[in-house]
Structure 1
């Protein structure tokens, strides 16, 4: 069973993820945007004002790097280690999560336990 870190630990984890990302969204097109003008990576930088996607302040969040893992329940996503997290702007995170929700479930079906060997 994984342990959910206390809020103080989560703040430190968020800061570590942002530092590893140099304060910039790490999306490379999983949101459906190619980010061609920016070398293939989202240009959103934490704390800056963006005019695209709703004209607002960019607040990056630390979330699973693997788009399929964005479907995890919040308590499981919160327990992921730093190496499995990435910095996401709200637009890229939401678009990638919606795409993951629409993708077919690729997990193998669980084999039910049986009382007898067949």
Structure 2
């Protein structure tokens, strides 16, 4: 391991996902941004800077499917490489929030308990 490998990545999975993504966030707008200036893909790259005044970007290997971001951690950790994508923290968090909001909106409202 080196300084770019997250702690706990003993299998090299994070490195493999990052290499497949060429070190760049694979979000194509699921976060709510169009990423128009960069051909429809997020410009954030491992070790780069997302905005002026922020620290370096540390990419995440997480489920590629936005609904997969809602999986419990133990199930997400068991996914194969082909089902993972590289995410910058900003796109990951925004996509997860949007997926959670969509799931809540799709859920049927609970019927109130009858008082009588």
Normalised by the size of structure 2, how large is the TM-score? 0.79
Please report the RMSD computed on the Cα atoms of aligned residues, expressed in angstroms: 1.8
Normalised by the size of structure 1, how large is the TM-score? 0.78
The secondary structure found in structure 2 opposite 1:44 is: coil
User: How far apart are residue 7 of structure 1 and its match?
Assistant: 4.4
The secondary structure found in structure 2 opposite 1:98 is: helix
Instruction: Give 2:56's aligned residue.
Output: 57
Counterpart check, 1:8 vs 2:10 = yes
Q: Which 4+ residue blocks in structure 1 deviate beyond 2 angstroms?
A: 104-107
Separation (CA, whole Å) in 1 of partners of 2:63 and 2:97? 14
Could you tell me which runs of 5 or more consecutive residues in structure 1 were left unpaired when the two chains were aligned.
1-5, 108-118
Could you tell me which runs of 5 or more consecutive residues in structure 2 were left unpaired when the two chains were aligned.
1-7, 108-116
Are the structure 2 counterparts of residues 14 and 91 from structure 1 closer, same or farther at C-alpha, using a change threshold of 3 Å? same
User: How far apart are residue 56 of structure 1 and its match?
Assistant: 2.1
Q: How many residues are treated as equivalent by the alignment?
A: 99
Instruction: Give 1:31's aligned residue.
Output: 31
